[in-house]
C-alpha cells in the first residue's frame, strides 16, 4: 500500500517547478505518520496542506490557512481520506473547509474555555459562526478578485 505522501508526490511532482522543499521536505514530514483526513493545494511554485481536524489553531490562524489554500495560483487540489488521495475541484475544497470550520471553532472554544458545557459551546457557535465565516469570506474576497462567498 502506498503512503499518503507517495500518492501526493505522484500528483504534484510533475508540475512543481520551484520550492520543491514544500513537497519533498515539509509535506513529507507532515504526512509521514499521518492517517487522518487532509486537503492539499499546489501550484508550480509551492504547496499548501491542511490536516484535519485542525487542532490547536485560533480562528485567525484558520483564516490564514483558508486564504492560502484558496489562493488563485493553486491549480491542483487533493483530498486525502482513509488512506486514499484523490484529485478534487476548488468547489469540493470549499465544501470541505465549510464542513471543518465549525469543528475547528468548537475545538478552539473548548480549549479556551474548558469550563463551558457542550450546550453553552453550541449556543455560542450558533450566535457567532456566521460572523466568523464573514470574516474569512472577507479575507478570501479581498485576496482573490471576483471571488464569491465561500461560506
DSSP per residue, 75-133: -EEEEEETTEEEEE-HHHHHHHHHHHHHHHHHHHHHHH-TTS-HHHHHHHHHHHHHHHH
149 is a domain residue: no
CA–CA separation, 93 and 36 (whole Å): 16
CA distances from 150 to 13, 18, 58, 133, 140 (A): 29, 29, 20, 9, 8
Look at the chain and report how many structural domains it folds into.
Answer: 1
Give pLDDT, residue 109.
79
148 is a domain residue: no
Give pLDDT, residue 137.
61
119 is a domain residue: yes
Q: Which domain holds residue 45?
A: 4-143
Quick one: 4 exposed, middle or buried, by C-beta within 10 A (0-12, 13-18, 19+)?
A: buried
CA–CA separation, 144 and 128 (whole Å): 25
151 is a domain residue: no
66 is a domain residue: yes
- pTM for this structure? 0.79
150 is a domain residue: no
Give pLDDT, residue 55.
73
Contacts of 31 (CB under 8 A, 6+ apart): 3, 4, 5, 8, 38, 49, 80
40 is a domain residue: yes
Give pLDDT, residue 3.
96
Give me the residue label for grid cell 511532482.
13
pLDDT (tens place) for every residue of the chain, 151 residues total: 799 999 999 999 999 999 999 999 999 999 999 999 999 999 999 999 999 987 777 777 877 888 788 777 899 999 999 999 999 998 898 888 878 887 877 877 788 888 888 888 878 777 776 766 665 565 555 545 433 444 3
Amino acid at each position: 500500500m502506498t503512503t499518503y505522501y507517495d500518492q501526493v508526490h505522484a500528483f504534484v511532482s510533475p508540475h512543481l517547478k520551484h520550492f520543491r522543499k514544500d513537497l519533498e521536505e515539509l509535506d513529507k514530514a507532515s504526512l509521514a505518520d499521518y492517517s487522518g483526513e487532509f486537503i492539499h493545494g499546489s501550484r508550480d511554485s509551492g504547496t499548501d496542506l491542511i490536516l484535519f481536524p485542525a487542532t490547536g489553531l485560533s480562528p485567525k490562524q484558520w483564516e490564514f490557512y483558508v486564504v492560502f489554500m484558496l489562493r488563485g495560483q493553486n491549480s491542483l487540489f487533493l483530498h486525502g481520506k482513509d488512506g486514499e488521495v484523490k484529485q478534487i475541484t476548488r468547489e469540493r475544497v470549499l465544501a470541505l473547509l465549510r464542513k471543518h470550520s465549525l469543528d475547528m471553532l468548537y475545538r478552539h472554544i473548548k480549549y479556551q474555555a474548558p469550563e463551558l458545557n457542550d450546550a453553552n459551546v453550541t449556543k455560542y457557535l450558533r450566535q457567532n459562526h456566521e460572523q466568523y465565516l464573514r470574516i474569512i469570506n472577507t479575507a478570501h474576497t479581498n485576496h482573490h478578485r471576483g471571488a464569491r462567498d465561500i461560506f
